Structure 1
Amino acid sequence: MKFTFNHNNINVLDLEKSIDFYKKNLGLVEMKRIHAEDGSFILVFLGDGITGHSLELTWLRDWSTPYNLGDNEFHLAFHVDDFEEAYSLHKNNQCICYENKAMGIYFISDPDGYWIEIIPANR
């Protein structure tokens, strides 16, 4: 028996704002969208076009308060082929929330406060 990664899920308050953030800052594109028949939720799967792994954004119609992210100790992580260009993009987009220069990484924060680690490809 062999298990392989398929996707990760996060819940979002403003679906279109989140889709725009992930496209503009990480190059992710919408791969699939599922609407609940009763309109209670929408699922949007974003992909990088390279791997089979996707990020599922879940929007819940009846949820209106920010999600409790605890101490934000969990996060997504992305390798990037041009670390300096990515850093410049994220700095210009004002989404860098934490830098660890000693480790050579930084984190950006999405519209709901989820952290995403940015790692140079050569690490």
Structure 2
Amino acid sequence: MKFTFAHNNLNVFDLEKSLAFYKEALGLEITETKDADDGSFTLVYLGDGTTPHLLELTWIRDMKRHYELGDNEIHLAFHVDDFNAALEKHKKMGCVCFENPAMGIYFIEDPDGYWLEIVPSK
């Protein structure tokens, strides 16, 4: 028996704002969208065009407030081929929330408060 990754999920409050962020900040593109028959939720799968791994954004119609992340220490990490250009871009976007120059990484924050680690490709 062998398990392989399919996707990671993040619930989002404002789907359009999140889609715009993930496209601008990370270049992710929509690969598939699923809407509930009753309109109660929408699933949007985003891909990087290189790897098979997907990010699933879930929007729930009846959610009336941003999600409470509490002490959520979970994060997604992305490799980037031009670390310095990415950092400059993300600083201009105002989404850099933590830098660790000693480790050679930084984090950006999406519209819902999820942290995304940016790691230079080796």
* TM-score bracket for this pair, using the shorter chain length: over 0.9
Distance 1:26 1:42 in 2: 21
What TM-score do you get using the length of structure 2 for normalisation? 0.98
Q: CA deviation at 1:72?
A: 3.2
Unaligned runs of 5+ in 2: none
Match of 1:20? Answer: 20
Q: Post-superposition shift, 1:67? A: 0.8
TM-score, normalising length: structure 1: 0.97
Query: By how many angstroms is 1:36 displaced?
Result: 0.4
Question: Letter of the aligned partner of 1:31 in structure 2?
Answer: T
Q: What does residue 49 of structure 2 align with?
A: 49
**Partner residue, 1:112:** 112
Q: Structure 1 residue runs of 4+, over 2 Å off?
A: none
Deviations 1:57-110 (A, max 9, x none): 000000011111122311000000000010011000000000111101000000
Alignment match, 1:81: 81
Whole-Å Cα distance in 2 between the matches of residues 34 and 108 of structure 1? Answer: 27
**Alignment-derived partner of residue 9 in structure 1:** 9
Matches within 5 A, 1:23-38: 23-38=23-38
Q: What is the RMSD of the two structures over their aligned residues, measured on CA atoms?
A: 0.6
- The one-letter amino acid paired with 1:64 is K
AA paired with 2:48? D
- What per-residue deviation string (whole Å, max 9, x for no partner) do you get for residues 17-38 of structure 1? 1001000000000000000000
Paired positions, count: 122
AA aligned to 1:6 is: A
What percent identity do the matched residue pairs reach?
65
> What runs of 5+ residues in structure 1 fail to find an aligned partner?
none
